[in-house]
Chain A
Amino acid sequence: MKLTGRRIFKGKTEGEALVTSQSISFYGGVDPDTGTVVEKGHELEGQSITDKVLVFPSGKGSTVGSYVIYQMAKTGTGPKALILKDCEAIVAVGCIISDLPCIDQIDVEKIETGMNLSLDAENGIVESK
């Protein structure tokens, strides 16, 4: 499978997909110390996003979320890359300041948790092996 979207921030990487159909608030919704989703009632509540290729529709919540993405990238609790349907400012800024590969405008329903993905974010390409 090969999907093409839009580069938000460049970089090449590989990793295991963790997929949710729900938006994510990084400030308050994810614990930056552990990389665990803590938002009550979220599909991914209790799951770790560390070293995953995180696949989700969009970001939400406070703009402080950009700094949470950065904090996780620097302390090693963050995801390897982000794939979204519609990227908004919080996630985009978080990826740019963190040098975290990110692609949006991807048909995220086609990706399933556990798939092994490779990304070429510069060209907006996602492939499953």
Chain B
Amino acid sequence: MELTPEEKNMAEGKYGKATQKAMEILVTLGEIYGAKRLIDISSVQIAGVSYANLNEPGLNWLADMAKDGEVRVFTTLNPAGMDLEEWRKLGISEEFAEKQLRVVEAFGKMGVITTCSCTPYLYGNLPHFGQNIAWSESSAVCFANSVIGARTNREGGPSALSAALVGKTPEYGFHLDENRQPEVTVEIKAKVQGTYRFGALGKVLGDQLGKKITYIKEIPKASVEELKSFCASYATYGGVALFHMESITPDKVQKIPSEMIKVTEKDIEKALKELDDDTDIDFISLGCPHASLAELEYIAKKLKGKTVNPKKEIWITTARPTKQVADRMGFTKIIEDSGAKIAADTCCVVAPIRGRFKGLASDSAKMCYYGSGRNKFAVKLMSMDECIEEALKQ
């Protein structure tokens, strides 16, 4: 890789140890993937924040980087393992909370904006079409590349932090036009509506086509909430970073692929069935990815004056800024008066909740995947309305 004089100085340690380590990571990745140079980026999203995933060594590494590391570009942060303010309400231990706060503190010291959300595009980290960025968090990567048309590879926590500290990323993969073209056309011959059915479609495509870039036809419309659910699921089941959706996503496609598959109602039903363990539900998770303001408003309307079954827990996960507006609008009070819990800064994928529940219901196919794999819950994917009815069922 060819480095500019400033980049060489960074690599030689003239900008401090953290920047030197960051350059080592970026240059090695660039060499592995055949990049010729580093390119400027306009923003970064960093994942790998929950202490449940980092553990003591991960925390120590971040604290070490924070000794002299400072981000050179606007950088936001993924969810932590708990609500940073009201963690007691979620039954988080003192010990975990202390470690988790130190993780967030280390990021803050480096100048990372500690948004603690998986939907940075809803809270001030919104790139525009064609911008190069370096994001981790697979659902946000898929959303940024596909729905926004920005350009990022699927970064991991350390490579995203490195990009933030240097302000650049190696130019390969999804930063280049030639790697963004669709490989297979998908015709949707099924009703795809609602976050859960978009999630089911993500599973169908991810399971069948893996990382192949798809050109998806005949989705008549999709809301931001449906698209974020779809991106989360598709990235989880297929490792996908980019898709094209006719009349919905903005990337120009050079040629619509002749290889074609059809998705029928049967495929969607099969995916829904695979995510139904026929279980009793004691835990309901909404807000994966983080609930939008529109979703919180909707949930508040549904829960108004109702009481959640005391034998069940329902968590609605969202970003702190969304919750603050929900507080002002009275949504939070309505939701919490029903017995439901709003948790900001965190998500049920990364919170330390293994063993606490048996049966999980969610409108998110991604949540179902991690609920069963990581937390060993029996799961059921269903619509947001059905999830709320399940919580209220006495």
Binding site for B on A (CB under 8 A): 8-9, 27-28, 32, 63-64, 66-67, 70-71, 73-75, 87-90, 92-93, 96-97, 104
9-residue interface stretch from B46-54, B282-290, B351-359: B46-54
B62's closest neighbor in chain A, by CB?
A: A67
Q: Report the minimal beta-carbon distance from A20 to chain B, rounded to whole angstroms.
A: 21
Which 10 pairs across A and B sit closest by C-beta, in order of nearness?
Answer: A63-B156, A71-B57, A67-B58, A74-B57, A93-B158, A64-B53, A96-B25, A70-B57, A66-B158, A92-B28
Q: Which among B28, B154, B159, B373 has the greatest number of chain A C-beta atoms within 10 A?
A: B28
Binding site for A on B (CB under 8 A): 21, 24-25, 28-29, 32, 47-48, 53-58, 60-61, 136, 154-159, 373-374
| In-complex Cβ contact of B29 among A27, A32, A73, A92 (8 A) | A92
C-alpha spacing A6/B140, complex, angstroms: 33
In the complex, are the beta carbons of B48 and A96 less than 8 A apart?
no
| In-complex Cβ contact of B48 among A8, A32, A67 (8 A) | A67
Q: How many CB-defined contacts (below 8 Å) exist between A and B?
A: 69
In the complex, are the beta carbons of B55 and A97 less than 8 A apart?
no
A10's closest neighbor in chain B, by CB?
A: B24
List 7 interface pairs A-B (beta carbons < 8 Å), by A numbering. A27-B53, A63-B155, A63-B157, A64-B53, A71-B58, A89-B29, A104-B32
Q: Report the minimal beta-carbon distance from A22 to chain B, rounded to whole angstroms.
A: 18
In the complex, are the beta carbons of B25 and A97 less than 8 A apart?
yes
C-alpha spacing A33/B55, complex, angstroms: 11
| Chain A residues within an 8 Å CB radius of B24 | 96
In the complex, are the beta carbons of A93 and B32 less than 8 A apart?
no
C-alpha spacing A8/B58, complex, angstroms: 21
C-alpha spacing A96/B32, complex, angstroms: 13
In the complex, are the beta carbons of B48 and A89 less than 8 A apart?
no
C-alpha spacing A8/B25, complex, angstroms: 10
Given the interface pairs A63-B136, A93-B159, the reply to whether A87 lies near B32 with Cβ below 8 Å is yes
Q: Report the minimal beta-carbon distance from B123 to chain A, rounded to whole angstroms.
A: 22
| Chain B residues within an 8 Å CB radius of A32 | 55
C-alpha spacing A113/B373, complex, angstroms: 31
| Chain B residues within an 8 Å CB radius of A66 | 156-158
| Chain A residues within an 8 Å CB radius of B374 | 28
Q: Report the minimal beta-carbon distance from A113 to chain B, rounded to whole angstroms.
A: 26
| Chain B residues within an 8 Å CB radius of A74 | 57, 60
Q: Report the minimal beta-carbon distance from B119 to chain A, rounded to whole angstroms.
A: 19
Q: Report the minimal beta-carbon distance from B283 to chain A, rounded to whole angstroms.
A: 21
With A74-B60, A96-B21 given, can you name 18 additional A-B contacts, CB distance below 8 Å?
A: A8-B28, A28-B374, A63-B154, A63-B157, A66-B158, A67-B58, A67-B61, A71-B57, A71-B58, A87-B32, A89-B29, A90-B156, A92-B32, A93-B29, A93-B159, A96-B24, A96-B158, A97-B158
| Chain B residues within an 8 Å CB radius of A75 | 57
C-alpha spacing A89/B227, complex, angstroms: 27
| Chain A residues within an 8 Å CB radius of B156 | 63-64, 66, 89-90, 93
A72's closest neighbor in chain B, by CB?
A: B57
| Chain B residues within an 8 Å CB radius of A88 | 32
| Chain A residues within an 8 Å CB radius of B373 | 28
| Chain A residues within an 8 Å CB radius of B57 | 67, 70-71, 73-75
Given the interface pairs A66-B157, A70-B61, the reply to whether A9 lies near B28 with Cβ below 8 Å is yes
In the complex, are the beta carbons of B48 and A64 less than 8 A apart?
yes
| Chain B residues within an 8 Å CB radius of A70 | 57-58, 61
A86's closest neighbor in chain B, by CB?
A: B32
A87's closest neighbor in chain B, by CB?
A: B32
Q: Report the minimal beta-carbon distance from A123 to chain B, rounded to whole angstroms.
A: 15
| In-complex Cβ contact of B54 among A28, A67, A90 (8 A) | A67
Q: Report the minimal beta-carbon distance from B369 to chain A, rounded to whole angstroms.
A: 12
Q: Report the minimal beta-carbon distance from A108 to chain B, rounded to whole angstroms.
A: 17
In the complex, are the beta carbons of B55 and A71 less than 8 A apart?
yes
In the complex, are the beta carbons of B28 and A96 less than 8 A apart?
yes
C-alpha spacing A96/B20, complex, angstroms: 11
